[in-house]
Structure 1
């Protein structure tokens, strides 16, 4: 079973392209499973439960205290291990596993919250996580400017500067993770054509 991951900023069109890729593979009689890294995360379940018990509405995370950041790091390690077990279970029944975001996105989120902007600095928790994270057969990043992302998704409450800062962190690490860049500023069909060319599917 091949693992294909698509990362990118909110508003980059990840889900649209995964929908197209899934349909294309199924049309070719391939067995496809779909996976969303955020929904899988133990951290989301724990933090979500805390928010359910709060009278305040949930907001996008742009800052966090040291306890919450530590919780996210621990959850990342646990989730990477859980994912490896899930992958083994699915591998005999499917040809492809497509993921909406990947653990790389979670690492970027933690680095953003921890304000680690030095691209050459790989902290110990990240090195440990990378040893556990299954390397994708094809890892893609749909690249759009923050301006385009905001124009596509006006519900991005964190704002343009948040996207700029996250893009900078991704820029440092894309080569480190051997992720292939896809220009996402064309039409959905144009972007999908590039994905098929690069992934050779």
Structure 2
């Protein structure tokens, strides 16, 4: 995707959209990879947009045949309404957020403003409970709690930049989309209240 964006002269405008104009954006799976400030996990070098102060690892869970589905607890969907039903997620050659970076940490991406002082901290919104280690490691068959692991980070938000390692759009469950549209709506209203144009 970054190669296509580069060849079609969209890479720099997309970087500006995320890092200069700071428009709301949500990246799923490969989109999360493109939004990450640092990308690991092998494969060809990737030129992304940046925008999330995280490091991601591509194809963390393996190849296409190792794609899987899982139910996740997503407390951010509750919005003060108590508990919510688990969200059924689909992971297809999914990345994982391997580490959070300091918001003030410079990025290797050109023309990004990751060192801007107003860049908020990264929030972890979802973890996949220790799936990889529990399935393949010495703790095979044990739960994340038994392994004393928090699990792999699969959803993050940094201000108005949101990334998920899974594909909510394939589930038929619109709760994450509704939550995100609510966040975008608040951002638009805030811009209008501040007298800033939001037409672009």
**Could you say which structure has the higher strand fraction?**
2
**Could you say which structure has the higher helix fraction?**
1
- Give yes or no for TM over 0.5: no
TM-score normalised by the chain length of structure 1: 0.27
TM-score normalised by the chain length of structure 2: 0.28
Structure with bigger RCO (C-alpha 8 Å, 6+ apart): 1
